């Protein structure tokens, strides 16, 4: 399945009445299965969730826990950069070489390795492996 198409399709389902910024994310797990999520805002603004968080939740609920590839798409003028919190969430389930592709709806795309999105991530090794 084409990850960009999957992310664009779920972006249409985004609930973003406050920002008007609709985001879709698609994750290909190591198993090959594709999971999707969109942003879900809330009138209590901090309670909103990002598209990446939704896709990760779907992945875990689907029985996968290893990310192979990520694509995010939004309607801004330049490729959307996953927020800091989402970078940390992605690192929990993805190795440093996982490609993260950031897309605009008008066809721009930029791919970076997860380790380059979040250098110096907080990882379990820093707690002695726990
Ligand atoms: N947002 C995402 O869903 N993912 C990102 O990577 C960046 C930001 C959402 C959160 C909020 O609903 C809206 O975009 C504006 O910040």
User: Which amino acids are annotated catalytic?
Assistant: 52
Domains of the chain: total: 1
Structural domain that includes position 97: 3-120
Q: Looking at the domain assignment, is residue 130 inside a domain?
A: no
Name residue 69's beta-bridge partners.
28
Could you tell me if the CB of 70 is within 6 A of ligand 1?
no
DSSP string computed for 41-101 = --SSGGG-B-HHHHHHHHHHHTT---EEEEEEEESSSSPPPPPHHHHHHHHHHB-TT-EEE
* pLDDT value, residue 40: 98
CATH assignment at residue 29:
3.40.140.10
At 1 the pLDDT is 82
Q: At what angle do helices 84-93 and 51-61 cross, to 10 degrees?
A: 20
Residue 19 has pLDDT above 70, yes or no: yes
Select from 23, 25, 88 the residue to mutate for testing ligand 1; criterion: most ligand atoms less than 8 Å from CB: 23
Alpha-carbon distance of 114 to 97, in angstroms, equals 6
Per-residue pLDDT reduced to its tens digit, 21-47: 999 999 999 999 999 999 999 999 999
């Amino acid at each position: 399945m084409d990850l960009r198409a999957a992310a664009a399709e779920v972006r249409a389902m985004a609930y973003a009445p406050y920002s008007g910024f609709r985001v879709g994310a698609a994750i290909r797990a190591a198993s090959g299965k594709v999971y999707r999520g969109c942003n879900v805002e809330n009138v209590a603004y901090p309670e909103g969730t990002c598209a990446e968080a939704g896709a990760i939740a779907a992945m875990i609920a689907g029985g996968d826990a290893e990310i192979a590839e990520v694509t995010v798409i939004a309607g801004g003028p330049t490729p959307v950069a996953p927020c800091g919190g989402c970078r940390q969430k992605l690192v929990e389930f993805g190795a440093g070489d996982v490609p993260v592709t950031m897309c605009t709806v008008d066809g721009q795309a930029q791919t970076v390795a997860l380790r380059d999105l979040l250098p110096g991530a907080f990882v379990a090794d820093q707690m002695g492996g726990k």
